[in-house]
Amino acid sequence: MSVRKLKIRDLTMRDGQQSLFATRMSQSTIDRLLPLYENAGFYIMEVWGGAVPDSVMRYLDESPWNRLRKASEAMKGRSLLSALSRGRNLFGYVPYPDSVLEGFYKEAIKNGLNVMRIFDALNDIDNVKESIRIINELGGIADGAVCYTVDPKEEAPEAPSGFMGKIKSMFGSKPAEPEKIFTDEYFVNLAKQMESLGAKIITLKDMAGLVNPLRAASIISKLKSSLTVPVDFHTHCTPGYGLASSVMALLHGVDILDTNIWWFGGGSAAPAIELIYVFATRMGIEIEANMEVVGKIRNELLNARKELAEFDLVKSMPIAFDPLTDTLPQNVSALFDKAIECAKANDEDGLLNACHAIEEYFGFPKPNELVKNAEVPGGMYSNMVAQLKALQASDLLDDAMRLIPKVRRDAGLVPLVTPTSQIVGSQAVSLAMDRKKGNPDYSNASNQFISLIKGEYGHTPVAIDPAFREKITGSPIERPYDTSAYKKPENPVLPELGNVKLASNNEEYLLLELLPSVANGFLRRRRTEEYDATQAEKLAEEKKAEEAKVPQEPITGELLSAPMGGRIIEINVKPGDAVKAGTVLLVYEAMKMENDVVAEKDEVIKRIFVHPDQVVGTDAPLIEFAD
């Protein structure tokens, strides 16, 4: 009987550092890790996409393309390299025409990308189909990501006031439950459409970590029975489901699992591969990764995490653990077996309790109960907190959170993933402010919310009420974004930098198209560096040419040499000057002290060999006196 095998997609260098360290890992750190990764045996390594192209330019002043190229050169084809993109929007928020998609994907594949994981914030198939087609035509692997989301809870009513209010609350009739939209069949249907369009992998993408274990079991089972391509499960541990749901995914046949290496796992990131390895081994599943090499990477990642301490969202680290050499305490070892037993029995509470106890023993963050109960991504919640703080209205947080379900329903039940999570969260805050001021709902709609309701982001899971669309946009008619109206950004000539263009090649111009505001500054710095280097080289050549024009006479007169190495500060004489003994000829700095060089006797200056600010060595010729 053959042993079942599990492929691993390592997220450490992209999603892991983005989830825990604000995407601040530098290229120098990446360069230390890549030689170790070459023999790790991961099926896929996610190294690009998401926030990487923006962040490495914005915060690290580094080239996104260089990061991809270096990963490809180092891996030598040993693991597939993947990136994450938002379908029609790529890494930005503008729906790009096919020509831009094709140009970008062509450059990415040329620079070493193998797998493009493609998702859409609305789960709108129309927004991903062209990306799937183009990736396949260019020889890449299209990974179709189905974004998991949940039906919103009913808008929580405000606490009843007065005696009659409490009576109504106790005995009032309960409103009928709204129709469930995000059923297992909803996700399976999306996956089947993506497969029919040519997706070679299907990922259940749980960006907020809201897939609970029983739901993971149900959806993964149905995806496996409905598809012929491999199924990948991507989740996060923020609300406390990630590890337990991954165990359920293992049990129900998932082909690929997304993990991080120890110091970059857990919390708001995906589960740690080391814990998955322990579970898989006890379930008779072979992980296709070299865990000895993973251990070497883990050692280097500890240093990387220390370097990133300034951006560490957790601050506390788990205890060290090597699943190949460390013996678990008996009670902890029993927790792994208990979790597997509960998973097989569909005992969700028992599975979660065991997994939480395992995570607590190792020191991983506890579940974020607020995110779990609100059923929103952690980043969306923190954005709302920051927005209310800026408005000096932090007391409205509970009201804004209660309004999220209403805003989602009004907006066509959009999933909460970038950018819709930010749009919905911001609008819920505005709605809470409207109500506090006694204004009608949606008195202040953001431009992004108007675009969403207008239809410019695509088709929402549920059709938007035409009357609501008219209220928000002024017209009941859905108006999708017209990609034919797309205008390519200018690539200006920079007169102050020698009349060069801002983007010097195709890959740089693509950065201008996708991330114009960030790329503009990044590319200007590159052109300035090049211009400064060219000018310095030109000056050096001119000086060399001038010196070559003047024949160097042999030194025949008495020579004044530097008594020690230093820097010339000033020169007080010129050729032809007759000087008296004791005259200060020049001043130079050595050993952080300024030194006067004086004439020892009456002399006539013949030649001067140095100039101010020049650094000279010991015994360097300074001045020649006349014969």
Residue 598 lies in a domain: yes
Residue 601 lies in a domain: yes
Residue 544 structural domain: 515-549
Residue 20 lies in a domain: yes
Q: What amino acid occupies position 478?
A: E
Residue found under tokens 């929402």: 460
Are 194 and 332 members of one domain?
Answer: yes
Q: What is the CATH number of the domain that holds 192?
A: 3.20.20.70
Regarding beta strands 578-579 and 621-625, do their DSSP bridges make them parallel or antiparallel, or are they unpaired? unpaired
pTM of the model: 0.82
Are 25 and 52 members of one domain?
Answer: yes
Residue 301 CB partners (closer than 8 Å, separation 6+): 12, 33, 261, 262, 263, 264
- Greatest pairwise CA separation for the chain in angstroms: 118
- pLDDT for 617: 84
**Quick one: tokens of 150?**
């949940």
Residue 500 lies in a domain: no
Number of domains within the chain: 4
Are 222 and 353 members of one domain?
Answer: yes
63 in helix, strand or coil? coil
- Under DSSP, the state recorded for 308 is T
Q: What is the CATH number of the domain that holds 402?
A: 1.10.472.90
Alpha helices in 76-212 (DSSP H): 98-110, 129-137, 162-171, 184-197
Residue 603 lies in a domain: yes
Contact 91, 388 (CB under 8 A): no
Question: What is the distance between the alpha carbons of residues 413 and 405, in angstroms, rounded to a whole number?
Answer: 8
Q: What angle do CA 25, 356, 204 make, to 5 degrees?
A: 60
Are 366 and 382 members of one domain?
Answer: no
Are 464 and 567 members of one domain?
Answer: no
- pLDDT for 176: 55
Q: What angle do CA 391, 396, 398 make, to 5 degrees?
A: 140
Query: In the β-sheet with 559-561, what is the strand arrangement from edge to edge?
Result: 559-561, 621-625, 603-608, 578-579
Residue 578 lies in a domain: yes
Domain endpoint, select from 349, 372, 395:
372
Question: What is the distance between the alpha carbons of residues 146 and 187, in angstroms, rounded to a whole number?
Answer: 7
Entry field: residues in the chain: 627
Are 221 and 282 members of one domain?
Answer: yes
- pLDDT for 171: 46
Q: What is the CATH number of the domain that holds 575?
A: 2.40.50.100
Are 533 and 568 members of one domain?
Answer: no
Residue 38 lies in a domain: yes
- pLDDT for 167: 47
- Under DSSP, the state recorded for 151 is P
Q: What are phi and psi of 250, to 5 degrees?
A: -60, -45
Question: Taking Cα atoms as reference points, which of 307, 299, 441 lies closest to residue 20?
Answer: 307
Are 248 and 393 members of one domain?
Answer: no
Are 228 and 277 members of one domain?
Answer: yes
- pLDDT for 169: 47
Question: What is the distance between the alpha carbons of residues 88 and 79, in angstroms, rounded to a whole number?
Answer: 27
Are 597 and 575 members of one domain?
Answer: yes
Are 252 and 114 members of one domain?
Answer: yes
Are 120 and 218 members of one domain?
Answer: yes
Question: What is the distance between the alpha carbons of residues 565 and 584, in angstroms, rounded to a whole number?
Answer: 19
HSE-up of 7 (CA within 13 Å, CB side)?
A: 15
pLDDT beneath 50: ranges in the chain: 159, 161-164, 166-171, 173
Q: Quick check: bond before 95 cis, omega within 30?
A: no
Residue 501 lies in a domain: no
